[in-house]
Structure 1
Amino acid sequence: MDHKKVYAFALNPWVVVAMLGGGFALGLYQPEASLRLGFVGDVYVDMLKMIALPFMVSAVIFSLQRLFREGGAGGLLARVGIVFVVFSIAVAALGAATLMVMRPGENLSNETKQTFGKIVGNDLNSSDTVMSLQGVDPPTKSVTFAEVLVSIVPSNIFASLASGETLKALVFALLFGLAVGQVPARISDGLTQSLETIYHACQTLMRWLNYPLPIILLCMSASQMAKTGIGPLQAMAQFVIAFCVASLIALVLATLIIWKRSNASLGQTLSALRGPFALALATRSSATCMPIMIEGLVDRLGFARSRVELLVPLSVSLLRIGPVIYYVAATMFIAQLYGRDLGPTEIAVVMSSSILAGFASAGMTGLLTVSLVGLTSSYLGLPFEAAFILFLAVDPLCDMLRTLVLVIGNSAAVSIVCARPLRI
């Protein structure tokens, strides 16, 4: 059996789309059987998360050490800061522009409003926006910049690794890598070899886990459709379509940037992005996509390994462009849903608070990620509590798009920071 052909088949975008469609159909027509398949996806994602943190820590420390030996660390970090800020503002503006043009929260049919009312437990035409399910929701608390800074510093790195706190692990790896870079080579060589061994072992494990991806994707999508059904998706169709459009534009732009920066052909670029694309859709976890992002940028497109191995974990943790687009779109949708017209100043507030919420979302998934829409809504006094369950109902699909935009968009950011690869 040709392992390369099997690997290429498992990561083929058409196979991914076919497995997604088949899973959704299976979950819709055989919900009881599909629910029993849910454990397959849970085990698979847990195995990927098991690899992601040791991979990230070893890659960052190893790359920083090598970067300091080669020189140019200060200039690289300055470029990283500029690119991250520009990308964050650009995707926030893209999300705002898409929602302003498409306006998915306006002119909804009475049938859609009635469906919203059933899902939320409220009538959206009334002034009562308190959602009553099982208890009283706590008031949404605004997160300050100081609180965010305090929350990212690990008091115990082993506890942070055990609980899967990606951002705290990244902070430790950065500080430790900076310190190791100042240690003489004759002392640190042993650590360097150990870290490189861990790094390549994690890459090998990740490659092995890609082989059963089509079957895993079928089971995960079937289980998810069986849990939520198609009703919430139909009710939130206009928001989902608007978010899909914004995400698609971001993906196209990111792919064009990688193509131009890599000096490769468009076919080579798309082939290099095939793996990250498939794994992002399957796992909905950007951290688990880091090894295959590095493989695509380095082995297939020729970017410098020492730079990419440092920048990919850094961007995945700090440049949260997928969540930023989502928070802008969700906040503006809520405003339109309640008939609130936003002026230029208020849109700027939505964009800036969404960037902050995106940064705070590092390491979060599911309900916690969606709950941060309350942060962006609170600055405008919008009643997010009543709409929370609406977004939660369609979050599995939105989460796929958030992760996909983050993975491909961050690959584009890394390609801009790195020097262009030489082509003969």
Structure 2
Amino acid sequence: MTLNSSKIYALVLNPWIVIGSLVLGGAAGLLFPGESQRLVVLSDIYVDLLKMTTLPFMISAVIFSLQRLFRDGGASRLLLRVVTVFAGASAIVAVVGAIVLLLLDPGANLSSSTMHTFGVMVGGDATSSDTVMSLYGTDIPPKSLSFTDVLTSLVPTNIFAALANGDALKALVFALLFGLAVGRVPERISVGLSQSLETVYHACQKLMHWLSYPLPLILFCMSAAQLGKSGVGPLHAMLQFVIAFFVTAVLLLVLAVVVIWKRSNQRLGVTLDALRAPFALALATRNSAACMPSMIETLVDGLGFARSRVELLVPLAVSLLRVGPMVYYVCATLFIAQLYGHTLGVVEVCTVLLASVLAGFASAGMTGLVTVSLIGMTCAYLQLPFEAAFILFLAVDPVCDMLRTLILVIGNAAAVSMICPRPLKI
């Protein structure tokens, strides 16, 4: 990368440029809603361009990283550390989310105007005076997701069909198994495949660099299109939940940054500067898989962690350690319980935490509204009528999705830094 292109790259990923683009886009969406909604085409094309590099990047990185891992040794110790860190990170994010929601209590003591807005959004009846009843709606039998279903969904019957459908989780399972097998093949035979996969990896990484340059324009278009379509009404009605989830996200992001800072043996300013790229891409794309090349570059080139470990662990963490959805499910379930006046004891709160972690793992490979729908899995344990409140969360999901992706991307970077050996202090 030349000096001029490096300066441009740093400029487009500047946090103030990112925030300014979002604010200007939101203002344009409110002032010119009709015209702004047409801008969604540009943002959709941009996200699709990023997604098209995700699977080849992930597969190539995992396979040749596993091959290198077996060649260097230490696979069993690494596996134990992965399980420990993944379990600890899941517990931490769930507990932090529960503490914030229980302290702020955003679903209780809502104003009558807010309850009326809820009634309109849920029941579609602006003249209804019984907003509490319309919130409940018609009970629908909850759809349970069994452990067997989760295991079955992991195994690809046809890897080419999984690639064609963009099923990242099944592709990851294939890459892990294939990489384990390649790692046992003699190096003189597998060297050609390893070089080919490394070429694919670096080509995808280069594409990600090129696609970062129009980032401010894309952020402007995405923000304008979203607010032009929905306005600020739904956001205002769910404001207390959004604030509570925002506070939770900030606490977790600060914790993740501190972990990365301490593990990297770098100055705080260097750490923050290195994290700018994945931070900006998480906001822009709301797609954690599309942020993987940036995360790897940040941890390896920016912070000095071992490339062989990072290239294996980042795809694994992004696909399996779904800390963003986990904490979101905790917050959403507790908010619904507060909204319906359902008092929770210690056992019920612990049940919410465990169910949310399981739902987070089950959300692997899912995005958007499908991710939101898994709140019903956690609500089913408390017999809460999530189906009636589903539309409330859809209304503010674009904002929550950005926060979920930020937690997932920066949180997973922290998890990878905990698993990898510390780089030497410069």
Whether the TM-score (by the shorter chain) exceeds 0.5 is: yes
CA offsets, 1:208-258, max 9 Å, x none?
000110001100111111111100000000000000000000000000000
So what's the TM-score if we normalise by structure 1? 0.97
Gap runs ≥5 in structure 1: 132-136
Check 1:337–1:296 CA distance in 2 against 1; reply closer, same or farther (3 A cut): same
Tell me the residue number matched to 1:169. 171
Q: CA RMSD in A?
A: 1.1
Tell me the residue number matched to 1:194. 196
Worse-superposed segment, 115-124 or 334-343 = 115-124
CA contact (8 A) 2:282 2:406 kept: yes
2:137 to 130, 138, 147: 130
Return the offset for 1:362: 1.5
Return the offset for 1:130: 2.1
CA offsets, 1:62-117, max 9 Å, x none?
10000000000110011000000000011000110000000000000001000101
Local SS of the residue matching 2:142 = coil
Tell me the residue number matched to 1:227. 229
Question: Identity over aligned residues, as a percent?
Answer: 66
Return the offset for 1:48: 0.4
What is the letter of the counterpart of residue 28 of structure 1? L
Return the offset for 1:140: 2.6
Tell me the residue number matched to 1:351. 353
Return the offset for 1:367: 1.2
The equivalences for 1:411-422 within 5 A come to 411-422=413-424
Local SS of the residue matching 1:420 = coil
Local SS of the residue matching 2:133 = coil
Return the offset for 1:128: 6.7
Local SS of the residue matching 1:169 = helix
CA distance in 1, matches of 2:33, 2:135: 35
CA distance in 2, matches of 1:26, 1:55: 35
CA distance in 1, matches of 2:134, 2:39: 42
Runs of 4 or more above 3 Å deviation = none
CA offsets, 1:275-331, max 9 Å, x none?
000000000000000000000000010000000000000000010001001000000
CA distance in 2, matches of 1:91, 1:145: 22
CA distance in 1, matches of 2:366, 2:21: 26
Tell me the residue number matched to 2:183. 181
The equivalences for 1:93-108 within 5 A come to 93-108=95-110
Check 1:81–1:208 CA distance in 2 against 1; reply closer, same or farther (3 A cut): same
Return the offset for 1:369: 0.8
Tell me the residue number matched to 1:3. 5
CA offsets, 1:177-234, max 9 Å, x none?
0000000000000000000000000000001000110001100111111111100000
CA distance in 2, matches of 1:268, 1:344: 42
Tell me the residue number matched to 2:21. 19
Tell me the residue number matched to 1:384. 386
CA distance in 1, matches of 2:9, 2:365: 28
Tell me the residue number matched to 1:134. none
2:342 to 340, 343, 360: 340
Check 1:107–1:138 CA distance in 2 against 1; reply closer, same or farther (3 A cut): closer
So what's the TM-score if we normalise by structure 2? 0.97
CA distance in 2, matches of 1:138, 1:281: 34
Local SS of the residue matching 2:308 = helix
Tell me the residue number matched to 1:324. 326
Local SS of the residue matching 2:382 = coil
Check 1:375–1:197 CA distance in 2 against 1; reply closer, same or farther (3 A cut): same
CA distance in 2, matches of 1:16, 1:128: 37
Local SS of the residue matching 1:125 = helix
CA contact (8 A) 2:296 2:310 kept: yes
Return the offset for 1:423: 2.1
Tell me the residue number matched to 2:363. 361
CA distance in 2, matches of 1:124, 1:319: 38
CA distance in 2, matches of 1:4, 1:139: 55
Tell me the residue number matched to 1:398. 400
Equivalent pairs, count: 419
Check 1:265–1:351 CA distance in 2 against 1; reply closer, same or farther (3 A cut): same
Check 1:128–1:103 CA distance in 2 against 1; reply closer, same or farther (3 A cut): closer
Residue 58 of structure 1 pairs with residue 60 of structure 2:
yes
CA distance in 2, matches of 1:419, 1:287: 24
What is the letter of the counterpart of residue 319 of structure 1? L
Local SS of the residue matching 1:2 = helix
Tell me the residue number matched to 1:203. 205
CA contact (8 A) 2:119 2:132 kept: no
Local SS of the residue matching 2:22 = helix
CA contact (8 A) 2:314 2:412 kept: yes
Tell me the residue number matched to 2:73. 71
Local SS of the residue matching 2:136 = coil
CA distance in 1, matches of 2:418, 2:330: 25
CA distance in 1, matches of 2:133, 2:51: 44
CA distance in 1, matches of 2:248, 2:315: 24
What is the letter of the counterpart of residue 118 of structure 1? V
Check 1:87–1:273 CA distance in 2 against 1; reply closer, same or farther (3 A cut): same
Tell me the residue number matched to 2:30. 28
Tell me the residue number matched to 2:219. 217
The equivalences for 1:287-302 within 5 A come to 287-302=289-304
What is the letter of the counterpart of residue 356 of structure 1? L
What is the letter of the counterpart of residue 207 of structure 2? L
CA distance in 1, matches of 2:132, 2:324: 31
Return the offset for 1:138: 6.0
CA distance in 2, matches of 1:204, 1:416: 27
CA distance in 2, matches of 1:128, 1:297: 46
